[in-house]
Structure 1
Amino acid sequence: MTIHETIVIRTLVRWLALLVFKCAGWTSEGRKPDLPRYVIIAAPHTSNWDFIFTLCLAFIYRLNAVIMMKDAWFRWPLGPLFRWLGALPIDRSGANQVVAQSIAKFHQRDRLVLVVPPSGTRKRVLHWKTGFYHIANGAGVPIVLGFLDYRRKVGGFGPVVQPRGDLDADMAVIRAFYRDISGKYPLKESQQCIAPSVSPPAAG
């Protein structure tokens, strides 16, 4: 059971999330997509605070989301807590396996919101990983552009992008949206371009 399945606690945590946002001087922006299934990008990702604010936004918007996180965070005693919050441990060494398993989860569920940080880490990397795109394209679901803009202290939902199988063209649309959005540590921000580190899983 996750926190999203516990109605009373979920309501209390939503009020706490609203309080955290208000005390930190943040506001939310955009509307939650009225879609049953999609991949949502969590970007930019440069700080551990990103996870806290992303969780706050999930509760504020009443978003029953599964958040991909590095598996190292799931060691005792934090592992059970993160799972209860709806987080999913990811072994980045098996990227193609993660893509295939994520696509399978979408095919098995009528409703699923999967949060993926495209940089894969809060450290600076040269390129975004393409796993989020291959998951969405393989599952036939849209990509929602979620964001945390530390310059304006605003987080929320941006446009919805339906992947067409043309990675370069679709990434051009995504890059245009994130061009003016700043992470907590701008020098750690990854270039919003793709790296050929993840290929689509084989059919069958």
Structure 2
Amino acid sequence: MQSISKFIFTKILGWKVTGSFPENLKKYVVIGAPHTSWKDFPVAILARNTTGVPINYIAKASLFKPPFGFIFRKLGGTPVNRTKSTNLVDTIAAIFDSKEEFRLALSPEGTRQYTEKWKTGFYYIAKGANVPIVMFAFDFKNKEIKVAPPYHLTDSIEKDFEHFLEFYKDIKGAKPELFNNKNLL
């Protein structure tokens, strides 16, 4: 699967990965932005498969319904019911605690639409699980997935979000007008 994904990703689509997902770290939260198009998902899956580092994700439950739901599960996905009031942050932090190896990818925007602020669930999941955050960017302008080194959170959410903003500020997603790269918190 890795060689097929790499061929499609690099040779057919013309993308590349800059940086790398840490293989020696067994647990971390991966945040991917800007999430502005349906194209982000297949690009992310191909990039992940190209690197060979197992990374899971969560997505809205409606994607996991028949007839195609099995595909999202096979690709490492877990459905999330976003209509119920559940403590998803604590649930996912507990998953990190229960597993020897777990990497979870999330979209900090939580939608493909323009949003004034990022959701903070990814941040509190990483805090609760005491794991670093690895940022990756969908740079459609340069057909590049940019991966940052692991970032260990501080005691200041403002400082941490400034760090995230610095990484993403010049990134052009598939639909740049849908990405708020001015203020994330």
TM-score range for the pair, normalised by the shorter chain length = over 0.9
Q: Determine the C-alpha separation between the residues in 1 that align with 2:110 and 2:150.
A: 21
Number of the residue aligned with 2:35: 45
Under a length normalisation based on structure 1, what TM-score does the superposition of the two structures give? 0.84
Matched, 1:31 2:50: no
Matches within 5 A, 1:43-122: 43-94=33-84, 97-122=87-112
Matched, 1:193 2:181: no
Under a length normalisation based on structure 2, what TM-score does the superposition of the two structures give? 0.93
Give structure 2 stretches of 5+ with no counterpart: none
Give structure 1 stretches of 5+ with no counterpart: 1-12, 195-204
Number of the residue aligned with 1:198: none
The number of residue pairs the alignment matches comes to: 182
For 1:161, what is the secondary structure of its paired residue? coil
1:180 aligns with one of 166, 170, 173: 170
Deviation at 1:168, TM superposition (A): 0.7
Matching residue's letter, 1:16: I
Q: Determine the C-alpha separation between the residues in 1 that align with 2:52 and 2:177.
A: 32
| Percent identity (aligned) | 32
Matched, 1:152 2:181: no
Q: Determine the C-alpha separation between the residues in 2 that align with 1:14 and 1:87.
A: 18
Q: Determine the C-alpha separation between the residues in 1 that align with 2:85 and 2:58.
A: 12
Q: Determine the C-alpha separation between the residues in 2 that align with 1:135 and 1:90.
A: 15
For 2:72, what is the secondary structure of its paired residue? helix
Q: Determine the C-alpha separation between the residues in 1 that align with 2:30 and 2:178.
A: 21
Bigger fraction of residues in helix: 1
Give a deviation string over 1:149-173, Cα, whole Å, max 9, x none.
Answer: 0011101411321112311111111
Matching residue's letter, 1:50: D
Deviation at 1:24, TM superposition (A): 1.2
Matching residue's letter, 2:15: W
Number of the residue aligned with 1:15: 3
Number of the residue aligned with 1:197: none
Give a deviation string over 1:33-62, Cα, whole Å, max 9, x none.
Answer: 121100000111011111101101111111
Q: Determine the C-alpha separation between the residues in 1 that align with 2:159 and 2:86.
A: 22
Deviation at 1:91, TM superposition (A): 2.1
Matching residue's letter, 2:12: C
Deviation at 1:100, TM superposition (A): 1.1
Matching residue's letter, 2:18: E
Deviation at 1:96, TM superposition (A): 5.4
Bigger drift between 70-79 and 38-47 goes to: 70-79
Whether contact under 8 Å (1:118, 1:128) holds in the other structure is yes
Bigger drift between 170-179 and 90-99 goes to: 90-99
Give the aligned CA root-mean-square deviation in angstroms. 1.4
